[in-house]
């Protein structure tokens, strides 16, 4: 037994003390001050804040975001709950940075999947310690106390997980860019940034450095310059899931056409952009029939946008059903058990009935297309302006019937803001957007009238939201009638001659009939939804009720 003065030599003590020390280290770390070196170069931090402001102002000048969404520092940010220990320079920088209120903009994704960072937002502030959200990056911690993210991890948009996160090091004046799975390196930086990166050198860790005293400012200047010179545009660098209603290459052309950046006519640019978003498909009144032809007969087309080209194809319902018919026939011919053979026979026959129904529907759709599109031309090029104006009238109707103040108040109720001027800003932004739309409609209307004056044509008749809703209900009625006719045909053709061994086949037929009735109930539900929305409007439902719901419903159905 060890002497009383030798307690530290006891085996239990030798094991317990290191264990307790190890377990308590995180708690001891949390008791330490944020940094043991509170000194920093305030001028360098302000320079970074100014460059971020220059980038945001450039985006606002191009009208990608409204100017009133930008709030400049210094800000009062409560950092007491931060889990890690950022340096004093990092804490000061997040107070100096400008921030964009994403509740006042259309799209937070502005640079290859990276979102606007706003450390005033508690959720963003919580990511100060781990902006890459637990990504496995080598064997070392990618964040130092002197690191801070200037962009926020985004959703990835249309190309999934690609999202740029800018990590600025306040001590080394360097920036690293992480793209969801790896650091942006030399070749990608040159490809994306262009000539700005020709003389750069790169560390293996992915740091982009001009030199150790000017690396980060150089990167931020390059970003601002790329937007100013339309080497980039935020509509092109954004990975917005559903795009912006027009190819980004078209938007960049409109920017240049309207004098960007030195003599930029922002109102005309946005009027042109609105018209580009309402560009007619050229299908005219045959749009629904052509869509059904594609669904039934399939399609195979190449789609190009900027540097990306992809194939969009589908074999069509008829081709898929033909394969099913072949499988069902082979199974029927191979079966020897009477009851099972009768079941396979019913499945084979029902598949042939279905394909006959599809072929009949396809023929009807093709006849409709032939009637509406003589010589395979649904809308002559000269007539496109008429369809553009018609599409703009639909948007105009929705705007005229809406109440921007109520819309903003509703948004504020759903997502409260600490900005006392938020409601005023929201209403002002909607008023600006209304001016852009008014100009687009005015110019489109003038061109449509001029075309009709020269050709003797008439403007296309406009159907209001109630008429379009009634058309949608009639479409669902036709779908129900077709489904009922198919069910009755199956019963009439199969039941009278069913053999004694057809019990399982009858059960399968009844199950199929139930599925068909469920589909009919689904269509009936759509009809009731439209009727309810119209009733709400009749009873005085405003933008928060029937009107907005009806417009949203019709818009979703048109996709």
pLDDT digits (tens, 9 = 90+) for 305-339: 656 676 778 899 999 999 999 999 999 999 988 88
Instruction: Name the residue with tokens 């008791």.
Output: 31
Buried b (16+ CB within 10 A) or exposed e, 204-241: eebbbbbeeeebbbbbbbbbbbbbbebbbbbbbbbbbe
Query: Would you say residue 60 has pLDDT above 50?
Result: yes
Alpha-carbon distance of 343 to 102, in angstroms, equals 59
Contact 550, 533 (CB under 8 A): yes
Q: Measured over all CA atoms, what is the biggest interatomic distance in the chain, rounded to whole angstroms?
A: 115
HSE on the CB side for 428, CA within 13 Å? 10
- Using pLDDT thresholds of 50, 70 and 90, give the confidence band for residue 113: confident
Hey, which of 70-74, 134-138, 347-351 has the most confident mean pLDDT? 70-74
Q: Report pLDDT digits (tens) over 362-377.
A: 999 999 999 999 999 9
Q: Which long-range contacts (CB under 8 A, 24 or more apart) does 443-450 make?
A: 443/271, 443/275, 444/275, 444/278, 444/385, 444/388, 444/389, 444/392, 445/389, 447/385, 447/389, 448/385, 448/386, 448/388, 448/389
Strands, E, within 271-395: which ranges? 299-305, 308-314
CA distances from 8 to 1, 17, 314, 524 (A): 13, 9, 76, 82
- Residue 106, both tokens: 């259309």
Q: What are phi and psi of 311, to 5 degrees?
A: -100, 130
Q: Which long-range contacts (CB under 8 A, 24 or more apart) does 474-481 make?
A: 475/288, 476/523, 476/524, 476/526, 476/527, 477/527, 479/523, 480/520, 480/523, 480/524
Alpha-carbon distance of 401 to 492, in angstroms, equals 51
Alpha-carbon distance of 249 to 244, in angstroms, equals 11
Residue 6 has what pLDDT? 58
C-alpha closest to that of 125 among 155, 160, 154, 82: 82
Alpha-carbon distance of 239 to 455, in angstroms, equals 43
Measured from the Cβ of residue 51, the count of other Cβ atoms closer than 10 Å reads 20
Residue 14 has what pLDDT? 56
Query: Would you say residue 166 has pLDDT above 80?
Result: yes
Residue 543 has what pLDDT? 44
pTM over 0.75: yes
HSE on the CB side for 452, CA within 13 Å? 13
Residue 534 CB contacts under 8 Å (≥ 6 apart), including other chains: 466, 469, 546, 550
Alpha-carbon distance of 340 to 311, in angstroms, equals 42
Residue 251 has what pLDDT? 96
Residue 30 has what pLDDT? 43
User: Among residues of the chain, what percentage have pLDDT more than 90?
Assistant: 55
- Residue 151, both tokens: 């962009």
Query: Would you say residue 497 has pLDDT above 60?
Result: yes
Could you report how far apart the first and last alpha carbons of the chain are, in Å?
84
Going by the DSSP 8-state scheme, the letter that residue 308 receives in this structure is: E
Q: Range with the lowest mean pLDDT among 165-174, 375-384, 499-508?
A: 499-508
C-alpha closest to that of 45 among 153, 197, 148: 148
- Using pLDDT thresholds of 50, 70 and 90, give the confidence band for residue 69: very high
C-alpha closest to that of 221 among 372, 52, 12: 52
Measured from the Cβ of residue 497, the count of other Cβ atoms closer than 10 Å reads 7
Mean predicted lDDT score pLDDT of the chain: 85
Strands across the sheet containing 151-152: 109-111, 114-116, 151-152
Contact 451, 382 (CB under 8 A): yes
Residue 545 has what pLDDT? 55
Residue 115 has what pLDDT? 94
Across the range 188-203, mean pLDDT stands at: 66
Across the range 491-503, mean pLDDT stands at: 75
Query: Would you say residue 276 has pLDDT above 90?
Result: yes
Query: Would you say residue 483 has pLDDT above 70?
Result: yes
Alpha-carbon distance of 301 to 306, in angstroms, equals 16
Q: Range with the lowest mean pLDDT among 21-30, 484-493, 500-509?
A: 21-30
Residue 183 has what pLDDT? 78
- Alpha helices in 373-421, H assignment, sequence order: 384-401, 404-414
User: Among residues of the chain, what percentage have pLDDT more than 70?
Assistant: 83
Hey, which of 129-143, 178-192, 234-248, 443-457 has the most confident mean pLDDT? 443-457
Across the range 344-354, mean pLDDT stands at: 91
């Amino acid at each position: 037994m060890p002497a009383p003065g030798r307690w530290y030599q006891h085996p239990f003590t030798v094991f317990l003390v290191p264990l307790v020390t190890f377990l308590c280290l995180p708690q001891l770390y949390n008791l330490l001050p944020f940094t043991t070196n509170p000194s920093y170069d305030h001028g360098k931090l302000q320079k970074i804040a100014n460059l971020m402001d220059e980038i945001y102002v450039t985006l606002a000048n191009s009208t990608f975001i409204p100017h009133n969404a930008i709030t400049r520092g210094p800000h009062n940010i409560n950092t007491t709950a931060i889990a890690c220990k950022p340096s004093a320079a990092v804490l000061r920088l997040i107070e100096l940075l400008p921030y964009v209120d994403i509740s006042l903009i259309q799209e937070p994704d502005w640079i290859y999947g990276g979102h606007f960072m706003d450390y005033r937002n508690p959720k963003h502030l919580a990511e100060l310690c781990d902006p890459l959200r637990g990504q496995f990056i080598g064997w070392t911690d990618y964040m130092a106390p002197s690191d801070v993210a200037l962009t926020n991890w985004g959703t990835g948009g249309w190309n999934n997980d690609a999202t740029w996160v800018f990590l600025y090091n306040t001590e080394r004046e360097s920036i690293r860019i992480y793209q969801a799975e790896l650091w942006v390196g030399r070749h990608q930086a040159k490809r994306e940034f262009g000539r700005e990166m020709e003389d750069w050198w790169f560390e293996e860790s992915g740091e982009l450095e001009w030199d150790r005293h000017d690396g980060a400012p150089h990167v931020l200047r390059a970003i601002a310059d790329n937007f100013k010179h339309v080497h980039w545009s935020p509509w092109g660098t954004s990975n917005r899931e559903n795009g912006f209603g027009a190819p980004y290459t078209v938007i960049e052309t409109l920017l240049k056409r309207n004098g960007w950046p030195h003599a930029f006519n922002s109102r005309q640019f946005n009027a042109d952009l609105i018209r580009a978003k309402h560009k007619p498909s050229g299908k005219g009144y045959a749009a629904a029939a052509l869509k059904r032809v594609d669904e039934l007969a399939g399609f195979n087309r190449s789609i190009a946008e900027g540097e990306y080209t992809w194939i969009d194809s589908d074999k069509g319902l008829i081709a898929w059903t033909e394969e099913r018919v072949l499988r069902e026939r082979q199974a029927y011919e191979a079966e020897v058990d009477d009851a099972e053979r009768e079941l396979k026979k019913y499945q084979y026959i029902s598949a042939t009935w279905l394909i006959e129904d599809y072929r009949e529907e396809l023929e009807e759709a093709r006849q409709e297309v032939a009637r509406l599109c003589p010589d395979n031309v649904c809308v002559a090029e000269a007539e496109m302006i008429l369809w553009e104006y018609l599409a703009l009238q639909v948007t105009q109707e929705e705007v005229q019937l809406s109440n921007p103040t109520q819309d903003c108040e509703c948004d504020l109720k759903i997502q409260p803001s600490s900005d006392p001027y938020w409601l005023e800003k929201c209403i002002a932004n909607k008023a600006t957007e209304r001016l852009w739309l008014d100009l687009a409609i005015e110019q489109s209307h003038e061109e449509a009238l001029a075309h009709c004056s020269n050709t003797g044509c008439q403007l296309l008749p406009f159907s209001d939201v109630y008429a379009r809703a009634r058309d949608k209900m009639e479409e669902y009625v036709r779908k129900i009638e077709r489904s009922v006719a198919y069910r009755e045909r199956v019963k009439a053709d199969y039941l009278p001659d069913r053999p004694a061994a057809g019990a399982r086949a009858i059960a399968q037929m009844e199950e199929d009939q139930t599925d068909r009735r469920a589909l009919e109930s689904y269509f009936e539900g759509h009809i009731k939804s439209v009727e309810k929305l119209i009733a709400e409007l009749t009873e005085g439902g405003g933008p928060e009720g029937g009107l907005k719901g009806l417009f949203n419903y019709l818009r979703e159905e048109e996709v």
